[in-house]
Protein backbone atom coordinates (compact mmCIF):
# COMPACT_ATOMS: atom_id res chain seq x y z
CA UNK A 1 0.00 0.00 0.00
CA UNK A 2 1.41 3.39 -0.94
CA UNK A 3 1.13 6.54 1.07
CA UNK A 4 -2.11 7.78 -0.44
CA UNK A 5 -3.92 4.70 0.82
CA UNK A 6 -7.10 3.18 -0.48
CA UNK A 7 -9.25 6.31 -0.57
CA UNK A 8 -11.42 6.55 -3.68
CA UNK A 9 -11.61 10.24 -4.46
CA UNK A 10 -14.46 11.77 -6.45
CA UNK A 11 -13.39 12.57 -10.02
CA UNK A 12 -14.05 16.33 -9.70
CA UNK A 13 -11.73 16.44 -6.67
CA UNK A 14 -9.05 14.53 -8.58
CA UNK A 15 -9.40 17.03 -11.41
CA UNK A 16 -8.99 20.01 -9.07
CA UNK A 17 -6.09 18.72 -6.94
CA UNK A 18 -3.54 19.09 -9.80
CA UNK A 19 -4.68 22.73 -10.19
CA UNK A 20 -3.86 23.35 -6.52
CA UNK A 21 -0.53 21.58 -6.98
CA UNK A 22 0.30 23.75 -10.00
CA UNK A 23 -0.61 26.90 -8.07
CA UNK A 24 1.46 25.82 -5.07
CA UNK A 25 4.43 25.10 -7.36
CA UNK A 26 4.30 28.72 -8.51
CA UNK A 27 4.14 30.01 -4.93
CA UNK A 28 7.14 27.81 -4.07
CA UNK A 29 9.13 29.21 -6.99
CA UNK A 30 8.37 32.67 -5.58
CA UNK A 31 9.50 31.65 -2.07
CA UNK A 32 6.08 32.20 -0.57
CA UNK A 33 5.68 30.21 2.67
CA UNK A 34 1.96 30.21 3.40
CA UNK A 35 -1.25 30.27 1.39
CA UNK A 36 -4.89 30.48 2.40
CA UNK A 37 -7.88 28.88 0.69
CA UNK A 38 -9.10 32.43 -0.02
CA UNK A 39 -5.91 33.15 -1.97
CA UNK A 40 -6.08 29.86 -3.87
CA UNK A 41 -9.76 30.55 -4.50
CA UNK A 42 -9.00 33.94 -6.01
CA UNK A 43 -6.21 32.58 -8.21
CA UNK A 44 -8.10 29.56 -9.52
CA UNK A 45 -11.70 30.73 -9.39
CA UNK A 46 -12.75 27.76 -7.27
CA UNK A 47 -14.94 28.24 -4.21
CA UNK A 48 -12.81 28.49 -1.01
CA UNK A 49 -15.03 26.04 0.86
CA UNK A 50 -14.64 23.56 -2.01
CA UNK A 51 -10.86 23.87 -1.76
CA UNK A 52 -10.94 23.25 2.00
CA UNK A 53 -13.17 20.23 1.41
CA UNK A 54 -10.88 18.83 -1.32
CA UNK A 55 -7.81 19.29 0.88
CA UNK A 56 -9.51 17.65 3.85
CA UNK A 57 -9.31 14.36 1.90
CA UNK A 58 -5.55 14.66 2.36
CA UNK A 59 -5.94 15.27 6.08
CA UNK A 60 -4.66 18.76 5.49
CA UNK A 61 -6.07 21.54 7.58
CA UNK A 62 -5.03 25.14 7.24
CA UNK A 63 -4.33 27.30 10.27
CA UNK A 64 -6.62 30.24 10.96
CA UNK A 65 -5.28 33.43 9.34
CA UNK A 66 -1.99 31.78 8.24
CA UNK A 67 -3.42 29.11 5.97
CA UNK A 68 -1.45 26.16 4.64
CA UNK A 69 2.30 25.76 4.63
CA UNK A 70 3.23 25.90 0.92
CA UNK A 71 6.03 23.36 1.14
CA UNK A 72 3.97 20.81 3.05
CA UNK A 73 1.05 21.35 0.70
CA UNK A 74 3.30 20.76 -2.32
CA UNK A 75 4.75 17.51 -0.99
CA UNK A 76 1.48 16.15 0.38
CA UNK A 77 -0.39 16.93 -2.85
CA UNK A 78 2.18 15.41 -5.18
CA UNK A 79 2.55 12.37 -2.93
CA UNK A 80 -1.19 11.95 -2.59
CA UNK A 81 -1.73 12.25 -6.35
CA UNK A 82 0.74 9.42 -6.86
CA UNK A 83 3.31 11.60 -8.66
CA UNK A 84 6.15 10.62 -6.29
CA UNK A 85 5.88 6.88 -6.90
CA UNK A 86 6.85 5.40 -10.27
CA UNK A 87 4.10 3.37 -11.93
CA UNK A 88 5.26 1.07 -14.71
CA UNK A 89 3.54 1.36 -18.06
CA UNK A 90 3.72 -0.06 -21.58
CA UNK A 91 2.81 1.87 -24.72
CA UNK A 92 0.76 -0.15 -27.22
CA UNK A 93 1.20 1.20 -30.74
CA UNK A 94 4.56 2.75 -31.63
CA UNK A 95 3.06 5.12 -34.19
CA UNK A 96 3.47 8.84 -34.16
CA UNK A 97 1.65 9.52 -30.86
CA UNK A 98 2.99 6.38 -29.16
CA UNK A 99 6.56 7.33 -29.99
CA UNK A 100 5.93 10.89 -28.86
CA UNK A 101 4.79 9.64 -25.45
CA UNK A 102 7.87 7.38 -25.20
CA UNK A 103 9.98 10.47 -25.94
CA UNK A 104 8.24 12.47 -23.22
CA UNK A 105 10.56 11.76 -20.30
CA UNK A 106 8.76 14.48 -18.33
CA UNK A 107 5.95 12.04 -17.55
CA UNK A 108 8.27 10.37 -15.04
CA UNK A 109 8.02 13.56 -12.95
CA UNK A 110 4.36 12.66 -12.67
CA UNK A 111 4.98 9.06 -11.62
CA UNK A 112 4.75 7.42 -15.04
CA UNK A 113 7.58 5.06 -15.98
CA UNK A 114 7.20 3.86 -19.57
CA UNK A 115 9.34 0.72 -19.69
CA UNK A 116 8.40 -0.84 -23.05
CA UNK A 117 6.50 -0.34 -26.26
CA UNK A 118 4.62 -2.92 -28.33
CA UNK A 119 3.78 -3.00 -32.02
CA UNK A 120 3.26 -5.52 -34.81
CA UNK A 121 5.19 -3.67 -37.54
CA UNK A 122 8.45 -5.60 -38.25
CA UNK A 123 10.18 -2.28 -39.00
CA UNK A 124 9.48 -1.12 -35.45
CA UNK A 125 9.83 -4.32 -33.45
CA UNK A 126 13.27 -4.69 -31.80
CA UNK A 127 14.07 -1.01 -32.25
CA UNK A 128 13.83 1.52 -29.45
CA UNK A 129 12.56 5.06 -28.89
CA UNK A 130 14.73 6.98 -26.46
CA UNK A 131 15.55 4.30 -23.91
CA UNK A 132 12.30 2.42 -24.44
CA UNK A 133 12.58 -0.92 -26.26
CA UNK A 134 9.80 -1.93 -28.67
CA UNK A 135 8.68 -5.55 -28.72
CA UNK A 136 6.27 -7.57 -30.83
CA UNK A 137 2.90 -7.83 -29.10
CA UNK A 138 3.16 -11.63 -29.37
CA UNK A 139 5.96 -11.47 -26.79
CA UNK A 140 3.83 -9.52 -24.28
CA UNK A 141 3.49 -12.50 -21.97
CA UNK A 142 7.29 -12.91 -21.68
CA UNK A 143 7.94 -9.18 -21.23
CA UNK A 144 5.17 -9.00 -18.63
CA UNK A 145 6.87 -11.84 -16.80
CA UNK A 146 10.36 -10.32 -16.95
CA UNK A 147 9.43 -6.68 -16.35
CA UNK A 148 5.76 -6.31 -15.44
CA UNK A 149 3.69 -3.15 -15.83
CA UNK A 150 0.26 -2.23 -14.50
CA UNK A 151 -0.73 0.47 -17.00
CA UNK A 152 -1.29 0.14 -20.76
CA UNK A 153 -1.15 3.34 -22.80
CA UNK A 154 -3.25 2.76 -25.89
CA UNK A 155 -2.15 4.55 -29.07
CA UNK A 156 -2.96 1.87 -31.66
CA UNK A 157 -5.20 2.49 -34.71
CA UNK A 158 -8.90 2.53 -33.77
CA UNK A 159 -9.60 -0.84 -35.38
CA UNK A 160 -7.03 -2.49 -33.09
CA UNK A 161 -8.01 -0.68 -29.87
CA UNK A 162 -10.43 -3.20 -28.35
CA UNK A 163 -8.37 -6.29 -29.22
CA UNK A 164 -5.17 -4.75 -27.89
CA UNK A 165 -6.84 -3.76 -24.64
CA UNK A 166 -8.26 -7.30 -24.27
CA UNK A 167 -4.83 -8.87 -24.83
CA UNK A 168 -3.14 -6.50 -22.38
CA UNK A 169 -5.75 -7.12 -19.68
CA UNK A 170 -5.49 -10.86 -20.33
CA UNK A 171 -1.81 -10.64 -19.46
CA UNK A 172 -2.42 -8.80 -16.22
CA UNK A 173 -2.58 -5.10 -17.11
CA UNK A 174 -4.88 -3.36 -14.63
CA UNK A 175 -5.36 0.12 -16.11
CA UNK A 176 -5.93 1.40 -19.65
CA UNK A 177 -5.03 4.97 -20.58
CA UNK A 178 -6.83 5.29 -23.88
CA UNK A 179 -5.65 7.92 -26.38
CA UNK A 180 -7.61 6.43 -29.29
CA UNK A 181 -11.03 7.88 -30.14
CA UNK A 182 -12.44 4.34 -29.83
CA UNK A 183 -14.61 3.64 -26.80
CA UNK A 184 -12.82 0.63 -25.40
CA UNK A 185 -14.87 -1.63 -23.12
CA UNK A 186 -13.29 -3.25 -20.09
CA UNK A 187 -14.52 -5.55 -17.32
CA UNK A 188 -15.32 -4.16 -13.90
CA UNK A 189 -12.24 -3.74 -11.75
CA UNK A 190 -10.10 -2.55 -14.67
CA UNK A 191 -9.28 1.16 -14.52
CA UNK A 192 -10.17 2.99 -17.72
CA UNK A 193 -9.31 6.60 -18.54
CA UNK A 194 -9.76 8.39 -21.85
CA UNK A 195 -7.68 11.32 -23.02
CA UNK A 196 -9.69 12.58 -25.95
CA UNK A 197 -7.23 14.76 -27.82
CA UNK A 198 -9.19 14.49 -31.07
CA UNK A 199 -12.39 15.60 -29.37
CA UNK A 200 -10.47 18.54 -27.90
CA UNK A 201 -9.21 19.45 -31.37
CA UNK A 202 -12.74 19.21 -32.75
CA UNK A 203 -13.92 21.51 -29.96
CA UNK A 204 -11.21 24.08 -30.75
CA UNK A 205 -11.97 24.03 -34.49
CA UNK A 206 -15.71 24.29 -33.94
CA UNK A 207 -15.44 27.22 -31.54
CA UNK A 208 -12.90 29.03 -33.76
CA UNK A 209 -15.19 28.53 -36.69
CA UNK A 210 -18.35 29.61 -34.96
CA UNK A 211 -16.53 32.76 -33.97
CA UNK A 212 -15.77 34.00 -37.47
Residues numbered 160 to 179 that lie near a second copy (CB under 8 A) are 161, 174-175, 177
Q: Does 103 bind a second copy (CB under 8 A)?
A: yes
Q: Does 18 bind a second copy (CB under 8 A)?
A: yes
Shortest Å distance, C-beta 115 to a second copy: 16
Span 58-87, contacts to a second copy by CB under 8 A:
81-83, 85, 87
Candidates 65-73, 115-123, 140-148, 195-203: pick the segment binding a second copy (CB under 8 A): 195-203
Span 42-61, contacts to a second copy by CB under 8 A:
44-45
Residues of 91-125 as b/e, b for ≥16 C-beta within 10 angstroms? bbbbeebbbebbeeeeeeeebbebbbbbbeeeebb
Strand 112-119 and strand 132-136: the pairing is parallel
Shortest Å distance, C-beta 63 to a second copy: 25
Residue 48: which H helix or E strand, with range? helix 48-56
Shortest Å distance, C-beta 177 to a second copy: 6
Q: Does 141 bind a second copy (CB under 8 A)?
A: no
Give the contacts of 17 (CB within 8 A, at least 6 positions apart): 9, 54, 77, 80, 81
Q: Is 189 helix (H, G, I), strand (E, B) or coil?
A: coil
Q: Does 121 bind a second copy (CB under 8 A)?
A: no
Q: What is the CA radius of gyration of the chain?
A: 20
Among 67, 71, 110, 133, binds a second copy (CB under 8 A): 110
- 95 touches 155 (CB < 8 A): yes
Judged by CB, which is closer to a second copy: 145, or 185?
185
Burial of 154 (0-12, 13-18, 19+ CB in 10 A): buried
Phi first, then psi, for residue 93 (nearest 5°) are 105, 95
Residue 89: which H helix or E strand, with range? strand 87-92
Q: Does 201 bind a second copy (CB under 8 A)?
A: yes
Candidates 62-70, 113-121, 140-148, 185-193: pick the segment binding a second copy (CB under 8 A): 185-193
Q: Does 2 bind a second copy (CB under 8 A)?
A: yes
Closest to 9 in 3D by CA, of 75, 68, 54: 54
Among 49, 56, 105, 141, binds a second copy (CB under 8 A): 105
Judged by CB, which is closer to a second copy: 65, or 207?
207
Amino acid sequence: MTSNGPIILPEPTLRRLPWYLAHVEILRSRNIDFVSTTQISRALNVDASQIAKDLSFLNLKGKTRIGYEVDALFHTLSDFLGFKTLHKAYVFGAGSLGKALMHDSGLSNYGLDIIAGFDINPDKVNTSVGNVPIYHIDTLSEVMHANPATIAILTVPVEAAQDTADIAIGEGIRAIWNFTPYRVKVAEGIVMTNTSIYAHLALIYNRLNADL
